[in-house]
């Protein structure tokens, strides 16, 4: 009797895993294919073949863009600048705004929260043209327009301009997320800190921020990835090849006239994935602790 129940419950544990494994196989196959194909002349299913169709034909040719095309490093750096700039902006503004929205009651607070949510729901494609005019206008502002080192400025055809636009589109989510994290911190702790001798700003920085580290990590990862992968906005507002980003570079490989080399596109795609992976490895602990119930407890 007992034994049979034991077997039954084991099946109950194994079955879902089995189902999930089966469902995951096609996805895994996709990844495996990408990796194999970047090192092959052609592929037949998952098997690398050479131009004559024989098994073999392994090559580094598809990765040649790394040493042959100087532009790849420029666009990589641009993507990196975009992703980092966006992350800093989103985290900083969201954390401050989220704190204010969570703690301070001021006129228009509710309305503000409501409108940011509506803005978030707005598809960014519909805004492209109006934003274009805004960026053109900013371009004419001295220094701020196109005279800033690293990001180039905040005008049209600059990385900074793209950061600015993406920042605006990302903030509603970020502010709401941060507000949620701040809401979960007890008022008493903040009061205790104020009484202990902190200013408001110090309470925010020394008492509250350390406790929402997992939230900040999550927001930083999302912002970094979306900045790194973003295609539409940099593609629209950056015309200069040298200022463009890696996603736009990938697009330029699919030219309309020449035949498309999918193995090379896979290689560039894989190359694009590397920093995201590294970033994820360093932050996954925080991400996991969010799912495990916040930052409470000893560690």
Partner 1 sequence: MKLKLENLTKRWGAVYGARDVNIEVKDGEFVALLGPSGCGKTTTLLMVAGIYKPTAGVIRFGERVMNRVPPKNRNVGMVFQSYALYPHMTVFENLVFPMKLKRVPAKERRERAQQVAEMMGIGHLMDRKPGQLSGGQQQRVALGRALTKQPELLLFDEPLSNLDARLRLSMRAEIKRLQVNLGITSIYVTHDQVEAMTMADRIAVMRDGLLEAYCPPDELYDRPATLFVAGFVGNPPMNFLDVEVTQANGELRARCLGLDVAVPAERGARAAGKPKVTLGIRPEDLSIVLGEPGGEADTVVAGEVYVVEPLGRDDLIDVQIGQSHVNVLVNPGLGLRLGDPVRLKFNMEKAQFFDPETEQSLLWR
Which residues of the shown chain bind partner 1 in the complex (CB under 8 A)?
186, 188-189, 191-199, 202, 207, 210-211, 295-299
Instruction: Name which of 38 and 295 has its Cβ closer to partner 1.
Output: 295
The CB-of-264 to partner 1 minimum distance in angstroms stands at 48
Task: Say if residue 276 is exposed, middle or buried (CB neighbours under 10 Å; 0-12, 13-18, 19+).
Answer: middle
Q: Where are the alpha helices (DSSP H) in the chain?
A: 2-38, 65-68, 71-103, 109-121, 128-139, 159-183, 187-196, 200-202, 213-229, 232-237, 246-253, 262-291
Whose tokens are 């401050």? That residue is 96
Instruction: Name which of 140 and 296 has its Cβ closer to partner 1.
Output: 296
Neighbouring residues of 33: CB distance < 8 A, sequence distance ≥ 6:
43, 46
The CB-of-294 to partner 1 minimum distance in angstroms stands at 11
Note whether 178 and 98 are within 8 A (CB).
Answer: yes
Instruction: Name which of 188 and 240 has its Cβ closer to partner 1.
Output: 188
Instruction: Name which of 95 and 162 has its Cβ closer to partner 1.
Output: 95
The CB-of-236 to partner 1 minimum distance in angstroms stands at 43
The CB-of-281 to partner 1 minimum distance in angstroms stands at 24
Instruction: Name which of 149 and 298 has its Cβ closer to partner 1.
Output: 298
CB atoms under 10 Å from CB of 225, counted, come to 17
The CB-of-298 to partner 1 minimum distance in angstroms stands at 4
Q: What is the three-state SS of 174-186?
A: HHHHHHHHHHCCC
Whose tokens are 């409108």? That residue is 115
Note whether 287 and 214 are within 8 A (CB).
Answer: yes
Instruction: Name which of 175 and 193 has its Cβ closer to partner 1.
Output: 193
Radius of gyration of the chain from its Cα atoms, rounded to whole angstroms: 24
Note whether 216 and 209 are within 8 A (CB).
Answer: yes
The CB-of-107 to partner 1 minimum distance in angstroms stands at 14
Instruction: Name which of 8 and 210 has its Cβ closer to partner 1.
Output: 210
The CB-of-174 to partner 1 minimum distance in angstroms stands at 22
């Amino acid at each position: 009797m007992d034994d049979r129940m034991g077997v039954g419950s084991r099946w109950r544990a194994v079955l879902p895993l089995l189902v999930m494994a089966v469902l995951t196989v096609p996805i895994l196959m996709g990844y495996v294919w990408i990796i194999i194909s970047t090192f092959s002349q052609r592929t037949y299913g998952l098997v690398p073949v050479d131009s004559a169709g024989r098994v073999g034909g392994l090559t580094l040719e598809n990765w040649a863009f790394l040493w042959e095309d100087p532009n790849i490093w420029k666009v990589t750096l641009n993507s990196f600048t975009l992703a980092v700039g966006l992350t800093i902006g989103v985290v900083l503004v969201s954390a401050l705004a989220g704190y204010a929205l969570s703690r301070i009651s001021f006129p228009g607070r509710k309305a503000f929260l409501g409108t940011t949510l509506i803005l978030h729901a707005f598809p960014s494609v519909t805004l492209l043209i109006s934003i274009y005019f805004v960026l053109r206008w900013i371009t004419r502002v001295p220094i701020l327009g196109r005279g800033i080192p690293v990001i180039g400025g905040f005008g049209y055809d600059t990385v900074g301009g793209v950061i600015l636009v993406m920042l605006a589109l990302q903030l509603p989510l970020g502010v709401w997320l941060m507000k949620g994290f701040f809401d979960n911190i007890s008022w008493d702790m903040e009061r205790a800190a104020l009484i202990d001798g902190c200013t408001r700003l110090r309470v925010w920085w020394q008492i509250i921020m350390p406790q929402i580290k997992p939230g900040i990590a999550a927001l930083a990862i999302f912002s970094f990835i979306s900045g790194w992968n973003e295609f539409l906005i940099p593609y629209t507002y950056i015309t200069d090849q040298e200022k463009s980003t890696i996603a736009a570079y990938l697009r330029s490989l699919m030219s309309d006239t020449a035949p498309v080399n999918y193995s090379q596109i896979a290689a560039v795609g894989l190359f694009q994935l590397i920093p995201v992976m590294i970033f994820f490895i360093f932050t996954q602990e925080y991400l996991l602790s969010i799912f495990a119930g916040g930052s409470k407890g000893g560690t």
